[in-house]
A and B are shown apart, each in its own frame.
Chain A
Amino acid sequence: MSSIAILIWVINVTLDTVGHVALKFAAVSDSKESTELARWKFMLGSFPLWVGIVCFCLEFVVWLAFLSVLSLSQGVLLGAINMVSIVIAGRLVFKEKLDRMRLLGMALITVGVIFVGIYA
């Protein structure tokens, strides 16, 4: 993997993780709104929601750049590391549970991504 590919990959993982955390913040914010429409209106005015939207818009371009320097099969496999980073962020930020099955899944994906990355 070239250094530019690694740099784009790291940016992609960061944007995806921050984007998901931001959307989760927006979704769980206590709006006290009774209807779904009112809840969405409240969320549209929340800062985290827009942080999430900006992250995903940037990720759209970054993913294009990533696929321009790697094959599609290698790209989607390396992109799987996003699942691991999001679970870690969920644990750190929202204190989400980390059971054995989740840890095993994270470990398998990480080792798999390392195998794909080393030979990319």
Chain B
Amino acid sequence: MKKLQFYILGFSALMLCDTLTQISFKLASNHGGEFAMQLEWFLSIFSQPWIYGAVLGYLGSFIAWMTLLKHAPVGPAFAASHLEVVLVLIVSAVYFGDRLAPMQIVGALLIVLGIVCLSFSEAEHENDEVH
């Protein structure tokens, strides 16, 4: 498989698995209602299938992450592992009807920019180690 295809497939798989995990978490928590330190809350969460979707998503992310790290530069891999935020935001808006206040949208953009900066920093440190 060509390098570019491997990266695209690997990064896409990682982002999709991370997004699946977060959506499953939200659907599972919706089922249990607002958090209460009671046995009933835990039982209602763990007695329906979405919680296992979150576990599957975690496993998929782990496999995709470990495969990517073996071949891909750490900077882009770090970004892909955290920029699932963008995909989750899109799904939350479309599927759950979440709406962010204008200042929260500014906050979201700053967070994404911050993740990109951390990714560049990771890539530079990797180069430090190589040379």
Chain B contact residue count (CB 8 A cutoff): 45
In B80-127, the 8 Å CB interface with A consists of 82, 84-85, 88-89, 91-93, 96, 98, 100-101, 103-104, 106-111, 113-118, 120-121, 124-125
Question: What is the chain B residue whose CB lies nearest that of A60?
Answer: B54
B32 CB to closest chain A CB (Å) equals: 6
Given the complex of chains A and B, what is the CA–CA distance between A104 and B35 in angstroms? 35
Main secondary structure of the interface of B (DSSP, over half): helix
Residues of the B chain whose Cβ atoms lie less than 8 Å from the Cβ of A68: 29-30, 32-35
Q: Are A76 and B88 in contact, CB atoms less than 8 angstroms apart?
A: yes
Whether A106 is near chain B, meaning CB under 8 Å from some CB there, is yes
Given the complex of chains A and B, what is the CA–CA distance between A40 and B117 in angstroms? 33
Residues of the A chain whose Cβ atoms lie less than 8 Å from the Cβ of B33: 68
Q: Are A71 and B92 in contact, CB atoms less than 8 angstroms apart?
A: yes
Q: Are A109 and B34 in contact, CB atoms less than 8 angstroms apart?
A: no
Whether B20 is near chain A, meaning CB under 8 Å from some CB there, is no
Question: What is the chain B residue whose CB lies nearest that of A79?
Answer: B85
B110 CB to closest chain A CB (Å) equals: 3
Residues of the A chain whose Cβ atoms lie less than 8 Å from the Cβ of B89: 73, 76-77
Count: A-B pairs, CB below 8 Å: 137
Main secondary structure of the interface of A (DSSP, over half): helix
Q: Mark A80-120, 1 if CB is under 8 A from B, else 0.
A: 10010001000000000101011011111111111110111
B113 CB to closest chain A CB (Å) equals: 5
Whether B23 is near chain A, meaning CB under 8 Å from some CB there, is yes
Given the complex of chains A and B, what is the CA–CA distance between A72 and B29 in angstroms? 10
Given the complex of chains A and B, what is the CA–CA distance between A74 and B89 in angstroms? 9
Among candidates B28, B101, B125, residue contacting A64 with C-beta atoms closer than 8 Å: B28
Residues of the A chain whose Cβ atoms lie less than 8 Å from the Cβ of B108: 73, 77, 112, 116
Given the complex of chains A and B, what is the CA–CA distance between A112 and B115 in angstroms? 11
Whether B61 is near chain A, meaning CB under 8 Å from some CB there, is no
Q: Are A115 and B118 in contact, CB atoms less than 8 angstroms apart?
A: no
| Ranked 10 nearest A-B pairs via Cβ | A115-B107, A105-B117, A112-B110, A108-B114, A109-B114, A112-B111, A105-B118, A65-B35, A73-B92, A68-B29
Residues of A within 8 A of B (CB): 4, 8, 60-61, 63-69, 71-77, 80, 83, 87, 97, 99, 101-102, 104-116, 118-120
